Amino acid sequence: ASAGGGGIGMRAVYQEDELVRAIESTQSVASTNFGDSTVFIEKYLEQPRHIEFQLLADEHGNAIHVADRECSIQRRHQKLLEEAPSPIMTEELREEMGGSAVKAAEYIGYTSAGTVEFLYDNGEYYFLEMNTRIQVEHPITELVTNTDLIKEQIRIAAGEELSYSQNDIQVTGHAIECRINAEDPLNDFAPNPGKITGYRSPGGPGVRLDSGVYMNYTIPTFYDSMISKLITYGRSRTDAINRMKRALSEYIILGVKTTIPFHKAILRNPNFISGDLNTHFIDEHKKGIDKEMENVIVEDAEIVNKLKSTFMPSKKIAAISAAVGSYQNVARSQKMQKK
């Protein structure tokens, strides 16, 4: 679907006699979801990697790429785990693919932060699409390039020049992001909204958590199922993986099913550990991933049961919060009187 996104309106055709039917079906989906029935046809790649390049471009003619991200772990063409840099990336390939991304932005006169996405297969890369916004996975790029993409986006919007040149962008270390969604990964990632009845977030060196949920927060049915973005950084890919394993083991969310068991299973998968990835990874390794998720759930059950008793009832939490607030108000009042 030309006006589409999020993997909606995509269909592979393996036989010529299926083409007309596939076009009509895709047009119907496109019209229903996007109000535009326009579709386009392109070469289908059987086992591609999804590699994207972060861009920054200002209105003064400056455009750079801020390195690459590997986004091949997907379900229904939507990303679940990203890492930076790609395990297969070399300086030569980064220069070539990044240069193509910058040329695309310059050609259309693009300004702001953005991302050019590619499919990579057998040494060749193909343009997929451009996201004209900041993306969910931007934190991993910030960590490995020591940049502040949000600040830079605001500066560009204010009419200022880029703070960085292409030579300033150096990749150091490795970062991984797990999208923690309120979904049931053993039931085809079906949404699982509801109230969070227990919550404990991870932390420590090399761990970043971007989230807005809390104890007793209700995951609504009306929006995206994402709960948070869990990011880890290390000097190497192995360090980042090990830190993510530790952070996931500390992350407790009760009341709704989440993708935490899925991510734990992925990080144990030997193909993932070796960097052997493609966009059909989940389907190709489904049996092994599902079995590992079941093992994870059993392993976690005892820990979760012990932790349930540590989560205080909401009324008790409210009473403690009110008492603390009252104490703070009294303290401020006494301080003002002394002044």
Catalytic, out of 21, 76, 133, 332: 133
Measured CA to CA, the distance from residue 311 to residue 200 in angstroms comes to 9
Residue entry with tokens 């919007």:
157
Sign (positive/negative) of CA torsion 147, 153, 158, 163?
positive
Report how far residue 184's alpha carbon sits from residue 257's, in angstroms, rounded to the nearest whole number: 5
CB 2 within 8 A of CB 30: yes
Closest CA relative to residue 54, chosen from 184, 189, 147 = 147
Domain ranges of the chain: 1-41, 49-307, 309-338
What is d(CA 173, CA 240) in angstroms, rounded to the nearest whole number? 9
Distance CA 55, CA 67 (A): 8
Q: What gap in Å lies between CA 229 and CA 112, rounded to an integer?
A: 23
- Of 210, 276, 206, the closest CA to residue 241 belongs to 206
Main-chain dihedrals φ then ψ at residue 29, nearest 5 degrees: -65, -45
Q: Minimal CA–CA distance to 110: which of 163, 59, 162?
A: 59
In this prediction, residue 314 carries a pLDDT of 53
Residue 5 Cα to chain centre, angstroms: 15
Residue 185: DSSP 8-state: G
Cβ-based neighbours of 120, under 8 Å, separated by 6 or more: 48, 49, 50, 51, 88, 97, 126
* Residues 56 and 66: beta-carbon distance below 8 Å: yes
- Please report, in tens digits, the pLDDT of each residue of the chain (339 residues total): 999 877 788 889 999 999 999 999 999 999 999 999 999 998 899 999 999 999 999 999 999 999 999 999 999 889 999 999 999 999 999 999 999 999 999 999 999 999 999 999 999 999 999 999 999 999 999 999 999 999 999 999 999 999 999 999 999 999 999 999 999 999 999 999 999 999 999 999 999 999 999 999 999 999 889 999 999 999 999 999 999 999 999 999 999 999 999 999 999 999 999 999 999 999 999 999 999 999 999 988 877 777 666 665 555 555 555 555 555 555 566 666 666
Residue among 43, 106, 99, 50 nearest 79 (CA) = 50
Contacts of 192 (CB under 8 A, 6+ apart): 182, 183, 184, 219, 225, 256, 257, 258
- Eight-state DSSP code of residue 309: T
Q: Apex CA 231: angle with CA 225 and CA 276, to 5°?
A: 90
Q: Which structure tokens are listed for 179?
A: 């999208």
* Contact assessment for residue 53 and residue 115, using Cβ atoms and an 8 Å cutoff: yes
Q: 201: Cβ–Cβ under 8 A, 6 or more apart, which residues?
A: 209, 211, 250, 251
Per-residue CA distances from 262 to 178, 231, 293 (Å): 10, 16, 6
Specify the pLDDT at position 261.
97
The answer to whether the bond into 85 is cis (omega within 30° of 0) is: yes
| The CATH classification of domain 49-307, taken from the options 2.60.40.420, 3.30.470.20, 3.30.2130.10, 3.40.1180.10 | 3.30.470.20
- CA count, 13 A, side-chain hemisphere, 204: 15
209 forms bridges with which residues in the sheet?
230
| pLDDT at position 79 | 95
Look at residue 72 and give its three-state secondary structure: strand
Give catalytic status of residue 133 as yes or no. yes
Tokens for 218?
A: 């209700």
